């Protein structure tokens, strides 16, 4: 009797779901650490509040490498997740494998083109159709400083690299490590691209790291970039190899070091330690014009079935929605990708970031970060990073470095 | 029927594992070889394009470093671990009182995973935390031991940690070998008044050839597939100074979406294994047959 009853209930449930096509989404991401996990939970709740069924597929490890391996296996077996945390040219790379969906209907209904900066919107499109939804904008070219240390040594935030070098020498004489840095390839690349943006300028940066123009890669300006990197190597403490970025941030926090060049995830460390922006620590864009962004996004994969398609559309709508953009970015330290979100609850560094993003978007100097996989595909970006880190960690000359850079880029094609 | 079963049971029992090895080892080696001749990037593609991936591989300075490191690391690791293991075994073989305890102490590093070894040595060798800081703390301000952060020396820190990990195991192998030598011969030699060092060099060690073979094979495959130790100890750094072929392959396959490069580097690794192990195996097994 009992089993008949349950059978009847589940049959009703089946019929009900067939009629309503409950939105379903399986989401592959690697936001598993404290603040990030909390941010994803916000999206999950919103999705459930709209009647959706969320299947979480978090794959931690290796800065997304493990998740990409899982994704490859899923796609090869013909069973892709609804949405995957992907960014930059990787989105187009997957599109070329023919596995991404078209979500233009949502994007057009929601007017994404009007609220997203043009160059960021470009990353979300595959052959003219929308295929991904942006979550946030991290600025990469930040320089962070310990306010007390700068004041004690009578130093202002540098606005040119010469000023930076002068300040660093002064700090070194005072027994303070001028630049907190961790010797990991991606951190070397982060500093390198900040220096390159300052010295090459936005146009030169675009030519070198987006268009991979050989003349720019071998130019005298590029040699100057490597010269500055060699100078910066002298401002780093001898014990920097292999240090994690957050330990370098801690060195700035406790006054052991004065500056750090790192994306705005460093701000999260300062704030978590109870430091106030503008009082305990200072934030400024690195010397030079331009804005390097690192935009996290969700790429939408081709899925079968009405319920999955409905889930995908709902998900895309929520991700770019005002509420999620605000709550997520408050948790993560970045700024919303859409420009019409109220920034009242955000701190002064986020305000600065947002203001400069709008300005750079207007004058064409809003550029993708190469070090964080926004400007180039993995093979090319990796080839450049190899040269940058080899130069930074040896006594290679700048002439050799630019030649190696050009060869490595050519070889990676 | 029972007779057929009797005759074929061994074959039937072995068949599943034989098929599994055929597919999952040799089948995938063949698949990797195929992929290494294509232009596969993010996902595998199957159109043969020639040796383009191998050309790219050998034009890459990072691969040069990785391959060089493999030879430096492999040679030093195998030779030093074997010499050290043999010396330890001979010393332990002198009928000393606490042999059991000492044997355990030397063998214990083998019980740790490479990740633990790598992390521990990373702290010991870190100039700001480990040996250098300690000796400087004793008042020797000029003392420098910065191999870990020096791109020219960092590969030797990997050798050091790997030897620490494995020499105890080699010692155990040799100790077993020493014990298996016929005691009568040794006694006869002792009666003849032959000095102990001559007994070792002329009688005991030559009769341990099979143990050398086992130790060599175990150590050489440990060396070639070394991955976790590098990741834990140096992360391949400074720069890519301590990259090994295995870490290069991982970076290409999983971080950079360049499966073709990863496949070609895997094939080269396999050829290195064959080039070293096959002649050695061949010569050892042939002399045995004679």
pLDDT in tens, A239-288: 888 888 889 999 999 999 999 999 988 888 888 888 888 889 999 999 98
Contacts of A90 in chain B (CB under 8 A): 257
- Judged against a pLDDT cut of 70, whether residue A235 lies above it is answered with yes
Tell me if B46 is assigned to some domain: no
Instruction: State residue A17's pLDDT score.
Output: 44
pLDDT in tens, A5-23: 444 444 444 444 444 568 8
Residue B130, chain A, CB below 8 Å: the answer is: no
Q: State the best of A75, A98, A378 to mutate against chain B, taking most chain B CBs within 10 Å.
A: A378
The verdict on a CB contact (< 8 Å) between A62 and B258 is no
pLDDT in tens, B40-97: 888 888 888 888 999 999 998 899 999 999 999 999 999 999 999 999 998 988 888 8
Q: Which domain, by its residues, includes B113?
A: 61-289
Q: In what order do the strands lie in the sheet with A297-300?
A: A53-58, A24-29, A83-86, A297-300, A132-134
Angle at B198 between CA B197 and CA B200, to 5 degrees: 65
Rounded-to-integer distance, Cα A44 and Cα A52, Å:
9
Tell me if B11 is assigned to some domain: no
Instruction: State residue A401's pLDDT score.
Output: 93
- Segment A210-215 shows an average pLDDT of 92
Q: In what order do the strands lie in the sheet with A291-294?
A: A335-336, A136-139, A291-294, A366-368
The verdict on a CB contact (< 8 Å) between A389 and B240 is yes
Instruction: State residue B201's pLDDT score.
Output: 85
- The domain limits of chain A are 21-137+295-352, 139-293+355-411
- For residue B238, whether the previous peptide bond is cis, meaning omega lies within 30 degrees of 0, is yes
Contacts of A69 in chain B (CB under 8 A): 254
Instruction: State residue B287's pLDDT score.
Output: 66
- What is A139-293+355-411's CATH topology? D-Maltodextrin-Binding Protein; domain 2 (3.40.190)
Q: What is the CATH number of the domain that holds B208?
A: 1.10.3720.10
ipTM of the complex: 0.77
Residue A149 has which token pair?
């240390």
The verdict on a CB contact (< 8 Å) between A239 and B254 is no
- Segment A316-323 shows an average pLDDT of 91
Structural contact between residues A306 and A104, judged by C-beta atoms closer than 8 angstroms: no
Q: How many CB atoms lie under 10 A from the CB of residue B290? A: 4
Contacts of A94 in chain B (CB under 8 A): 42
Q: What is the pTM of this model?
A: 0.83
Query: What is the radius of gyration, based on Cα positions, of chain A?
Result: 23
Domain count, chain B: 1
Instruction: State residue B200's pLDDT score.
Output: 85
CATH architecture of A21-137+295-352: 3-Layer(aba) Sandwich (3.40)
Q: State the best of B153, B157, B239 to mutate against chain A, taking most chain A CBs within 10 Å.
A: B239
Structural contact between residues B82 and B216, judged by C-beta atoms closer than 8 angstroms: yes
Our CA-based measurement puts residue B258 at a distance from the nearest CA of chain A, in whole angstroms, of 6
Contacts of B151 in chain A (CB under 8 A): 393-394
Cross-chain CB nearest to A382 (options B61, B151, B255): B255
The verdict on a CB contact (< 8 Å) between A393 and B60 is no
Q: What is the pLDDT confidence band of residue B20, given thresholds at 50, 70 and 90?
A: very high
List B residues 53-112 in contact with A (Cβ-Cβ < 8 A).
56, 59-62
Our CA-based measurement puts residue A110 at a distance from the nearest CA of chain B, in whole angstroms, of 32
- Judged against a pLDDT cut of 70, whether residue A185 lies above it is answered with yes
The verdict on a CB contact (< 8 Å) between B237 and A393 is yes
Secondary structure E strands in A62-141: 83-86, 125-126, 129-130, 132-134, 136-139
Q: What is the pLDDT confidence band of residue B239, given thresholds at 50, 70 and 90?
A: confident
Residue A159 has which token pair?
């606005």
- Segment A155-165 shows an average pLDDT of 92
Question: Mean of the per-residue pLDDT values for chain A?
Answer: 88
The verdict on a CB contact (< 8 Å) between A65 and B148 is no
The verdict on a CB contact (< 8 Å) between A379 and B257 is yes
Rounded-to-integer distance, Cα A318 and Cα A207, Å:
35
Tell me if B121 is assigned to some domain: yes
Residue B251, chain A, CB below 8 Å: the answer is: yes
Our CA-based measurement puts residue B138 at a distance from the nearest CA of chain A, in whole angstroms, of 19
- Segment A204-209 shows an average pLDDT of 93
- Judged against a pLDDT cut of 70, whether residue B273 lies above it is answered with yes
- Segment B207-220 shows an average pLDDT of 86
Structural contact between residues A175 and A235, judged by C-beta atoms closer than 8 angstroms: no
Phi first, then psi, for residue B144 (nearest 5°) are: -130, 130
Domain A21-137+295-352 and domain A139-293+355-411 have a common topology: yes
Rounded-to-integer distance, Cα A379 and Cα A411, Å:
10
Instruction: State residue A42's pLDDT score.
Output: 86
Instruction: State residue A6's pLDDT score.
Output: 46
Phi first, then psi, for residue B244 (nearest 5°) are: -120, 165
């Amino acid at each position: 009797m009992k089993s008949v009853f349950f059978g009847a209930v589940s049959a009703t449930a089946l019929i009900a779901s067939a009629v309503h096509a409950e939105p379903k989404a399986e989401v592959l991401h690697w936001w598993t650490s404290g603040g990030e996990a909390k941010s994803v939970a916000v999206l999950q709740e919103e999705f459930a509040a709209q009647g959706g069924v969320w299947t979480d597929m978090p794959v931690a490890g290796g800065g997304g490498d493990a998740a990409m391996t899982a994704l490859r296996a899923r796609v090869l077996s013909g069973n892709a997740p609804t949405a995957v945390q992907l960014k930059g040219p990787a989105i187009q790379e997957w599109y070329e494998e023919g596995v991404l969906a078209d979500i233009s209907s949502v994007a057009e209904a929601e007017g994404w083109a009007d609220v997203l900066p043009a160059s960021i919107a470009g990353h979300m499109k595959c052959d003219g159709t929308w295929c991904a939804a942006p979550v946030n904008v991290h600025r990469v070219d930040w320089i962070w400083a310990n306010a007390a240390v700068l004041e004690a040594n009578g130093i202002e935030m540098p606005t040119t690299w010469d000023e930076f070098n002068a300040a660093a020498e002064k700090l070194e004489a005072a027994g303070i490590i001028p630049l907190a840095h961790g010797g990991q390839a991606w951190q070397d690349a982060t500093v390198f691209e900040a220096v390159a943006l300052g010295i090459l300028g936005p146009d030169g940066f675009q030519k070198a790291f987006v268009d991979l123009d050989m003349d720019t890669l071998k130019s005298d300006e590029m040699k100057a970039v490597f010269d500055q990197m060699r100078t910066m190597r002298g401002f780093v403490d001898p014990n920097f190899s292999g240090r994690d970025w957050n330990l370098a941030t801690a060195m700035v926090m406790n006054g052991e070091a004065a500056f750090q060049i790192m994306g705005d995830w460093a701000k999260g460390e300062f704030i978590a330690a109870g430091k106030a922006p503008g009082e305990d620590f200072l934030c400024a864009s690195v010397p030079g014009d331009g804005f390097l962004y690192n935009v996290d996004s969700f790429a939408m994969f081709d899925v079968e079935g009405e319920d999955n398609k409905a889930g995908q559309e709902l998900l895309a709508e929520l991700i770019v929605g005002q509420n999620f953009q605000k709550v997520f970015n408050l948790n993560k330290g970045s700024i919303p990708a859409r420009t019409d979100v109220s920034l009242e609850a955000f701190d002064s560094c986020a305000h600065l970031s947002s203001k400069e993003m709008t300005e750079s978007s207007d004058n064409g100097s809003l550029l993708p970060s190469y070090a964080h996989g926004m400007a180039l595909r993995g093979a090319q970006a990796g080839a450049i990073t190899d040269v940058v880190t080899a130069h930074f960690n040896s006594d290679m000359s700048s002439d050799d470095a630019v030649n190696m850079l050009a060869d490595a880029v050519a070889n990676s094609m | 029927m029972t007779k057929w079963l009797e005759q074929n049971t061994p074959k039937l029992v072995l068949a599943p594992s034989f098929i599994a090895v055929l597919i999952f080892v040799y089948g995938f080696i063949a698949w990797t070889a195929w992929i290494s001749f294509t232009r596969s990037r993010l996902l595998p593609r199957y159109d043969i394009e020639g040796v383009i991936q191998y050309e790219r591989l050998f034009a890459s300075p990072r691969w040069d470093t990785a391959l060089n490191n493999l030879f430096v690391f492999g040679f030093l690791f195998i030779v030093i671990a074997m010499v050290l293991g043999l010396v330890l075994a001979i010393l332990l073989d002198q009928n000393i009182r606490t042999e059991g305890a000492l044997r355990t102490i030397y063998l214990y590093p083998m019980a740790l995973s490479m990740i633990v070894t790598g992390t521990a040595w990373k702290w010991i060798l870190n100039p700001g935390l480990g040996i250098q800081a300690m000796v400087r703390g004793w008042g020797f301000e000029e003392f420098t031991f910065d191999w870990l952060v020096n791109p020219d020396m960092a590969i030797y820190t990997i050798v050091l940690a790997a030897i620490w990990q494995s020499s105890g195991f080699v010692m155990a192998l040799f100790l077993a070998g020493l014990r298996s030598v016929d005691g009568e011969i040794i006694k006869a030699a002792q009666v003849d008044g032959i000095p102990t060092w001559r007994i070792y060099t002329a009688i005991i060690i030559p009769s341990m050839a099979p143990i050398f073979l086992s130790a060599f094979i175990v150590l050489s495959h440990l060396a070639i597939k070394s991955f976790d130790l590098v990741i834990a100890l140096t992360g391949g750094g400074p720069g890519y100074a301590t990259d090994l072929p295995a870490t290069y392959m991982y970076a290409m396959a999983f971080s950079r979406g360049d499966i073709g490069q990863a496949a070609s580097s895997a094939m080269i690794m396999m050829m290195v294994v064959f080039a070293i192990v096959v002649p050695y195996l061949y010569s050892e097994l042939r002399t045995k047959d004679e």
